[in-house]
Chains A and B, each alone.
Chain A
Amino acid sequence: MTVTVSASGLTLRYGGTVALDDVALRLEEGITGLLGPNGAGKTTLLRVLATAVPADRGAFTVLGHDPGTAAGRLAVRRTLGYLPQNPGFHPDFTAFAFVDYVAILKELTDRAARHREVRRVLAEVDLADVRGRRIKRLSGGMRQRVALAAALVGDPRFLVLDEPTAGLDPEQRMRFRELITRTGEGRTVLLSTHQTEDVAMLCHRVIVMAGGHVRFEGTPAELTARAAGRVWSSAERDPGARAGWRTGAGAFRNVGDPPEGADLLEPTLEDGYLLTLDDTGAQAVTR
């Protein structure tokens, strides 16, 4: 697969806090999930890759363009769709007018062609029926889809999505996952999320970050495999477990180093994620 984004040594500090510390990664076509606890550096990494903020050190390219130069940054922005963590809108605009506004800022200047493109992306995010409705009258999920439409306008090849499913109810999240799956076809998508389910369902690659470092990079199956033989069931909470919680069935699900003869369970991506954080000392698993 073609490498779309290649980064090495990305470092960024805010005052005394190291937000990114020597981050290196490669992204290919398809959806890559970015997991990590709060303060892990996920949003900072996305903002650097989206050219919203420059790194203190390090380098990266997007589709061969180096954003270190003005021309390179412009070229990157022309290939980029960015959905920030807290997207903002002009609330009195209709969904159509807002996406049209973003399309103009993305240099789609021919009015007829631009309007066709705006209609296309609104249809792609299932908002064709409410395109004339003011944004302030749309639900949270619909607004999030307007923001996704704004990111998609101009058909970008590299899509950066910062927690797009945060704050959505389960049905909206399902619909959003469907959308992201569709929009991920033929594109490189970097998706930051707290939801391991999102990664399990959507992503062909996953990156785990903590403390400004990349702690894991691989496939969801490889992350899950990290917990193989390290998840077990017991009638009572196992004091030796790194984490344990009572399941709906009444038994305890324990994660960590199992005692001999333990009743091992099939691991999930979440188990692999928790153990990755714990193994690297990035964050103790909540007991």
Chain B
Amino acid sequence: MLRVTVGGDAGRGAALRALAGAVWRVLPWRALAAAGGAGAAMAAGTRLPGQQPDALIGLLVLRLAALAGGLGLAFLFDDPARHTTETVPVRRPVRAGLRLALVAPLAAGWWAAVLFLVPAAARPPAGAVTLEAAAIGAGAVALAAASVRLRSEPGPGAGAALALLALAVAALLLPSRWDLLAPPGDPDWGQAHRRWAALLCWAAVLCAACLPQPLRRRRPALRTRRPPDPDAPAPLHGT
């Protein structure tokens, strides 16, 4: 087996650069650009001549922009070459982590731009609304990771995006004691953002749980039909 690697830290750096370049090229740019463009356009709409958005409109626009961004992130792990690259030595969690690492700064920059596109007078508290956006983004990525884990098709992003939309609709229907969409100044505003923080944590845990490969299968307790062969190779352990 031919393997061309360069030893030492420089070698590892070169390997990481090559890998990052390869992963960069296969990111789902169309979905990300469409979602980012839609979100930015919504925010830019508040600056159109004649528009004087109030704080409630500003909040609504930012929440919709965050949802649009989340829909783009739902496609993050789509990979048309999934089956072809299923058994390469560079493991899926590494590749998925690189996708996240490459997209996260772009998403952060995009969100900052969206935030500042909304006029200051209509802008809700930036920290709180950024927490909401982070939870939506993390939720989208977690749904994408779960889709990859549970389904074998190379492009499970559409399913993840639909699931995110369904969750967004469900959030509208939540009873007031679990309300996530409180407006600024509402007595539930602080409590709602503690829920957003909890959602962010849950999304991160779900994402981490769904990234390993190959799929861990539930091992049914099968009865041994013959005595074990002492010369046989060691049994398969967890993966």
A interface, CB within 8 angstroms of B: 6, 8-9, 11, 13, 22, 50-61, 66-69, 73-74, 77-80, 82, 84-91, 93, 97-98, 100-102, 104-111, 113-114, 117, 147, 150, 154-157
CA distance A93 to B26 in the complex (A): 9
Question: Could you tell me the distance in whole angstroms from the C-beta of B213 to the nearest C-beta in chain A?
Answer: 9
Q: Cβ of A114 and Cβ of B80 under 8 Å apart?
A: no
Q: Cβ of A110 and Cβ of B4 under 8 Å apart?
A: yes
What is the number of residues of chain B that contact chain A, defined by CB distance less than 8 Å? 46
Q: Cβ of A110 and Cβ of B5 under 8 Å apart?
A: yes
Q: Cβ of A89 and Cβ of B233 under 8 Å apart?
A: no
Q: Cβ of A82 and Cβ of B222 under 8 Å apart?
A: no
CA distance A104 to B81 in the complex (A): 14
| In the complex, chain A residues whose CB is within 8 Å of the CB of B82 | 88
Scan B85-105; emit 1 where CB is below 8 A from any A CB, else 0. Answer: 111111000010000000000
CA distance A143 to B144 in the complex (A): 28
CA distance A104 to B239 in the complex (A): 23
| In the complex, chain A residues whose CB is within 8 Å of the CB of B235 | 57-59, 68
Interface contacts beyond A51-B214, A59-B234, A68-B234: sample of 14 additional A-B pairs, CB < 8 Å, sorted by A: A13-B222, A55-B236, A60-B233, A66-B234, A78-B3, A79-B1, A84-B83, A89-B81, A90-B25, A104-B90, A105-B19, A105-B89, A110-B6, A111-B18
CA distance A107 to B4 in the complex (A): 7
Asked whether A102 and B85 contact (CB < 8 A) given A57-B235, A107-B5, the answer is yes
| In the complex, chain A residues whose CB is within 8 Å of the CB of B217 | 53-54, 56
Pick from B19, B84, B154: contact of A102, CB under 8 Å: B84
20 of the cross-chain contacts (CB-CB < 8 Å) are: A6-B233, A13-B220, A50-B86, A52-B87, A53-B217, A54-B236, A59-B235, A66-B233, A68-B235, A79-B1, A86-B83, A88-B82, A93-B25, A102-B84, A102-B85, A105-B88, A106-B89, A110-B5, A114-B18, A154-B2
Which has the most chain A C-beta neighbours within 10 Å: B1, B3, B22, B226?
A: B1
Pick from B19, B220, B225: contact of A22, CB under 8 Å: B225
Question: Could you tell me the distance in whole angstroms from the C-beta of A92 to the nearest C-beta in chain B?
Answer: 9
Q: Cβ of A69 and Cβ of B237 under 8 Å apart?
A: yes
Return the 4 tightest CB-CB contacts between A and B, nearest first.
A105-B88, A113-B4, A109-B15, A155-B2
- B151 interface residue (CB < 8 Å to A): no
| In the complex, chain B residues whose CB is within 8 Å of the CB of A60 | 233
Q: Which residue of A lies closest to B6 (CB)?
A: A110
Question: Could you tell me the distance in whole angstroms from the C-beta of A109 to the nearest C-beta in chain B?
Answer: 4
Q: Which residue of A lies closest to B26 (CB)?
A: A90
Q: Which residue of B lies closest to A147 (CB)?
A: B84
Q: Cβ of A82 and Cβ of B86 under 8 Å apart?
A: yes
Q: Which residue of A lies closest to B215 (CB)?
A: A53
Q: Which residue of A lies closest to B86 (CB)?
A: A52
- B11 interface residue (CB < 8 Å to A): yes
Q: Cβ of B154 and Cβ of A88 under 8 Å apart?
A: yes
Pick from A51, A114, A150: contact of B84, CB under 8 Å: A150
Q: Which residue of A lies closest to B15 (CB)?
A: A109
- B169 interface residue (CB < 8 Å to A): no
CA distance A242 to B104 in the complex (A): 64
Question: Could you tell me the distance in whole angstroms from the C-beta of A222 to the nearest C-beta in chain B?
Answer: 25
Pick from B18, B84, B215: contact of A87, CB under 8 Å: B84
Q: Cβ of A54 and Cβ of B239 under 8 Å apart?
A: yes
Q: Cβ of A61 and Cβ of B233 under 8 Å apart?
A: yes
Q: Cβ of B234 and Cβ of A56 under 8 Å apart?
A: no
Which residues of chain B in 210-239 are interfacial with respect to chain A, using CB atoms and an 8 Å cutoff?
214-217, 219-220, 222, 225-226, 229, 232-237, 239
| In the complex, chain B residues whose CB is within 8 Å of the CB of A104 | 18-19, 21-22, 90
- B198 interface residue (CB < 8 Å to A): no
Question: Could you tell me the distance in whole angstroms from the C-beta of A110 to the nearest C-beta in chain B?
Answer: 4
Q: Cβ of B1 and Cβ of A154 under 8 Å apart?
A: yes
Q: Cβ of B236 and Cβ of A101 under 8 Å apart?
A: no
